[in-house]
Structure formats: C-alpha cells, structure tokens
C-alpha cells in the first residue's frame, strides 16, 4: 500500500548513544517532516524538507539532524540521545490536501 514507512517501531537507547530513524514514502511528495508527540503537547515539528537536498529546522530541532538525498527517504538522526528525547516520533509527507503520517517510532532513552 502507498504511504509512509517508518522503522524501527520501537527502540531503547542508552544516554549518549546515537541512532537513525528511517522514513520512506512512495507518493512522490516533495514535502516531508518529522514530528515528535508527547502527552499533552500535540505534535511538534522537529525538521522538515521541501525537496531533495533542502532541509530546515522546525520548532524543536536541537539534538536532531536530517538529510534528504532522494525524494523518497528522509532519515532522522539522534546525535547523542538524552532522556528528554524519549517520545513517539512520526514522519509525514504532505500534499496540498494534508499530511500522511507513518505509524511512528516509540523511542525510550534510559
């Protein structure tokens, strides 16, 4: 089925470890974003991309890096994990009609 695919679904990291959350979409959308979801906070934008080779920061970018080498892929890198990064992460791609979200990655940093 067409959509946004995120891996892994669950991850536990130790403080200071690094990792990459993978995201791929097959809808040929130019716009892709990473959000984090925390209780009572809604969805907060981390980084976004308006096309291959173009990325920019969102509301809460600190501690995260992104790159967009192809239209399909938009990985999110945690450079040195901190407990404050414990959250559920959603990748999304956007058309003129709104977002299509992946199923999320639940990350716990201990």
Partner 1 sequence: QQQVKQSPQSLIVQKGGISIINCAYENTAFDYFPWYQQFPGKGPALLIAIRPDVSEKKEGRFTISFNKSAKQFSLHIMDSQPGDSATYFCAASWGRREQNFVFGPGTRLSVLP
From 11-19, 38-46, 60-68, 77-85, span contacting partner 1 (CB under 8 A): 38-46
Query: Smallest gap, in angstroms, from Cβ of residue 9 to partner 1?
Result: 9
Q: What is the DSSP string of 13-66?
A: E-TT--EEEEEEESS--SEEEEEEEETTTEEEEEEEEEETTEEEE-SS-TTEEE
Residue 102 makes contact with partner 1 by CB under 8 A: yes
> Is 23 among the residues that bind partner 1 (CB under 8 A)?
no
User: Can you name the residues that pair with 92 across neighbouring β-strands?
Assistant: 33, 101
- Binding to partner 1 by CB under 8 A, coded x per residue (else -) over 46-85, reads --x-x-----x-xx--------------------------
- Distance in angstroms (rounded) separating the CA atoms of residues 78 and 32: 18
Q: Does 101 bind partner 1 (CB under 8 A)?
A: yes
């Amino acid at each position: 089925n067409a959509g946004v695919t995120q891996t892994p679904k669950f991850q536990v990291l130790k403080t200071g470890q690094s990792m990459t959350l993978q995201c791929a979409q097959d809808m040929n959308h130019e716009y892709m974003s990473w959000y984090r979801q925390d209780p009572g906070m809604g969805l907060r934008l981390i980084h976004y991309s308006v096309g291959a080779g173009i990325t920019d920061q969102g509301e809460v970018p600190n501690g995260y890096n992104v790159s967009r080498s192809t239209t399909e892929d938009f990985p999110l890198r945690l450079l040195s994990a901190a407990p404050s990064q414990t959250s559920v992460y959603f990748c999304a791609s956007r058309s003129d009609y709104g977002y299509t979200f992946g199923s999320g990655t639940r990350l716990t940093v201990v």
